[in-house]
Amino acid sequence: MTKVAVFGARGKMGAEVCRAVEGAEDLELVAAVDAGEDLRAAEGADVAVDFTHPDAVMDNLAWCVAHGVHAVVGTTGFDDARLERLRALLAERPEVGVLVAANFSIGAVLMMRFAEQAAAFYESVEIVELHHPGKADAPSGTATTTARRVAAARAAADLPAPPDATMQELPGARGADVDGIRVHGVRLRGLVAHQEVLLGSEGETLTLRHDSLDRVSFMPGVLAAVRAVGDRPGLTVGIEPVLGLG
Ligand SMILES: NC(=O)C1=CN([C@@H]2O[C@H](COP(=O)(O)OP(=O)(O)OC[C@H]3O[C@@H](n4cnc5c(N)ncnc54)[C@H](OP(=O)(O)O)[C@@H]3O)[C@@H](O)[C@H]2O)C=CC1
Ligand SMILES: O=C(O)C1=N[C@H](C(=O)O)C[C@H](O)C1
């Protein structure tokens, strides 16, 4: 049995993860910790799963690494600087594994890969992410990750910036600029987590869309990561390696 602690256990994702762990025969939920509660409840855990808040996650991970607890992290807000800090923490405890993923749903992982593959073939690309109105961060971690991967693929293909004649705009009208890719955010009651990648060239467009209609969509990826992280010392970014996607 792998002993699992959940941080953010009373949140939307944390509660779903607690249910998924309790329903898995090879996993045991040993701690369910929420804001203001003592992380020491997780001391006996093999793996901690963090779905908290971008402001809280780094302290939680510092605690995990210091206590030799592997971690699976869904909380967003990981830029290069944060990943570097995490690598530095892990260098002190090289036996510990931490897996950070912007999105644990299989469809979203595939969407990001397909967008990266298509990027070199289209002059234009923009991303629209659509989420529930309780989301704290914008753009979403998934949209930011997608934009960075698309931008890298375009750069590798020597593509110039997407065409855009805008000379005059209200602030925000053209979305956020992530590595030169425009990302637009929608917050709407009734939504869970959705994204469209719009690609266009002369005479055609390609739209890649993914919808998480229920938070159960993230659970197969989270459980696969929980089962794998103990055998992956150091930092793993994304769930592709765990899914055998290379
Ligand atoms: N990678 C992925 O596949 C996914 C990632 N996410 C990300 O996961 C994060 C959480 O999302 P969601 O569940 O919707 O958010 P919620 O606000 O519903 O849940 C977050 C929970 O964490 C609690 N919390 C805050 N600080 C701490 C702390 N220091 N220790 C323990 N618990 C804490 C919050 O308590 P309180 O409300 O009292 O502050 C709340 O109960 C977000 O960053 C989101 O973007 C979401 C879905 C999928
Ligand atoms: O806050 C959410 O809900 C989600 N957050 C992640 C993100 O920011 O990409 C993953 C998914 O989009 C749901």
Distance of CA 213 from the midpoint of ligand 2 (Å): 12
> Whose alpha carbon is nearest atom 27 of ligand 1?
35
What ipTM was assigned to the predicted interfaces of this complex?
Answer: 0.99
Q: Return the bridge partners of 3, or none.
A: 28
Please answer whether residues 52 and 76 qualify as being in contact, where contact means their C-beta atoms are separated by less than 8 angstroms: no
Distance of CA 92 from the midpoint of ligand 2 (Å): 30
Catalytic residues: 131, 135
Question: Of 33, 51, 236, which is best to mutate to test ligand 1, by the most ligand atoms within 8 angstroms of its C-beta?
Answer: 51
Rounded to 5 degrees, what are φ and ψ at 164?
-165, 110
Please answer whether residues 13 and 6 qualify as being in contact, where contact means their C-beta atoms are separated by less than 8 angstroms: no
Structure tokens at 213: 């209609």
The bound ligand whose nearest atom lies closest to the alpha carbon of 32 is 1
The bound ligand whose nearest atom lies closest to the alpha carbon of 193 is 2
Report the atom number in ligand 2 closest to the C-alpha of 102.
Answer: 9
> Whose alpha carbon is nearest atom 1 of ligand 2?
135
Distance of CA 158 from the midpoint of ligand 2 (Å): 31
pTM of the model: 0.96
- Reported as a single tens digit per residue, the pLDDT across 90-103 is 999 999 999 999 99
Question: Of 72, 112, 127, 131, which is best to mutate to test ligand 2, by the most ligand atoms within 8 angstroms of its C-beta?
Answer: 131
Q: What angle do CA 195, 170, 189 make, to 5 degrees?
A: 40
Distance in angstroms between the alpha carbons of the first and the last residue of the chain: 27
Report the atom number in ligand 1 closest to the C-alpha of 141.
Answer: 45
* Residues framing ligand 2 (Cβ under 6 A): 76, 102-103, 131, 135, 140-142, 193
Distance of CA 150 from the midpoint of ligand 2 (Å): 19
Beta strands 181-187 and 193-201, pairing class: unpaired
What torsion do the CA atoms of 115, 121, 127, 128 make, to the nearest 10 degrees?
A: -90
The answer to the question of whether 121 is labelled as a binding residue is: no
Q: Would you write out the chain's pLDDT as a tens digit for each of its 246 residues? A: 999 999 999 999 999 999 999 999 999 999 999 999 999 999 999 999 999 999 999 999 999 999 999 999 999 999 999 999 999 999 999 999 999 999 999 999 999 999 999 999 999 999 999 999 999 999 999 999 999 999 999 999 999 999 999 999 999 999 999 999 999 999 999 999 999 999 999 999 999 999 999 999 999 999 999 999 999 999 999 999 999 987
Distance of CA 139 from the midpoint of ligand 2 (Å): 9
Q: What angle do CA 94, 230, 92 make, to 5 degrees?
A: 15
Structure tokens at 30: 């040993």
